[in-house]
Amino acid sequence: MKNKRYSKRRYSKKNSHLQLIVLLIFFVSIFQGKFSKNQILFNTYSKWLLVAFCLLFIGKIIFAFYNKQKKLKKYLYSRIFEIDKMSGPDFEKLLKAHFEKKGYSVRLTPASNDYGADLVLIKDNSTTVVQAKRYKNKIGNKAIQEIVGAKGYYNADKCMVISNSFYTANAIALAKANNVTLWNRNDLIDNFKIE
């Protein structure tokens, strides 16, 4: 259920930006008289309306940029107890922010049909697929099996599972046998300098 809401929210943001761009083009076209047969000049109120609309559009872009920077800062400076309360998509965004800070090119996979990977990392012509597990309990074999499948699907060089929790003994053994890197709670804290 969360994944559907997450993807709808992502779609609605893109859709609202597209609507604003279309409206801006429409108003500029009207202002230039392209949709007017008689090339009638607009009165002062219409010109001010267009100016107000343009300012609103620019303000929305500035606000979106500010909001994005604020969220990025939130992810980079989250403490471990805050991570424990995050949703799955927020945990993925936190990992994305930290890996980008380390110089990786990072792509989040779709919320559904991700084939077992949540992030795709690229650095020095090497591709790593990552499964993010924000759990309260220990992580079992399923996460290892999924990321091994994702490695083949994404044609990746490496694969890893990152969690705010720990792994069962069986999961650790399976990861070793399949060359899967595991980051548990302590590794997450150490590698990203989380308090």
Q: What CATH number is associated with residue 165?
A: 3.40.1350.10
Same domain, 91 and 185: yes
Is the same domain home to 116 and 37? no
Do 95 and 178 lie in a common domain?
yes
Domain that holds residue 121: 82-192
Distance CA 84, CA 86 (A): 6
Same domain, yes or no: 141 and 156: yes
- 85 residue type, one letter: K
As for how many domains the chain has, the answer is: 2
Strand bridging mode 126-133 / 119-123: antiparallel
Task: Report yes or no: 116 and 147 within 8 Å, Cβ to Cβ.
Answer: yes
Instruction: Assess whether 164 and 86 both reside in one domain.
Output: yes
Q: What is the mean pLDDT of residues 50-56?
A: 78
Compute the average pLDDT of residues 43-64.
76
Say yes or no: 86 and 119 in one domain: yes
Q: Tokens 């090119």 appear where? A: 105
Helix (H, G, I), strand (E, B) or coil at 116: coil
pLDDT tens, residue by residue, 105-131? 999 999 888 899 999 999 999 999 999
Same domain, 6 and 91: no
- Percent of the chain exceeding pLDDT 70 equals 75
In this structure, which amino acid lies at residue 112?
S
52 and 97 co-located in one domain: no
Residues 90 and 165 both lie in one domain: yes
Q: Which of 45, 76, 107 is the last residue of a domain?
A: 76
Q: Which helix (H) or strand (E) segment is 78 a member of?
A: none
68 and 92 in a common domain: no
pLDDT tens per residue, range 144-160: 999 999 999 999 999 99
Give yes or no: residues 110 and 133 share one domain: yes
Task: Inform me whether the pLDDT recorded for 11 exceeds 70.
Answer: no
Q: What is the reported pLDDT for 4?
A: 43
Q: Do 107 and 13 reside in the same domain of the chain?
A: no
Angstrom distance (rounded) from CA 193 to CA 98? 10
User: In this predicted structure, what is the pLDDT of residue 165?
Assistant: 97
Domain final residue, candidates 23, 55, 76: 76
Residue 74 confidence (pLDDT):
82
> Of 26, 52, 76, which residue sits at a domain end?
76
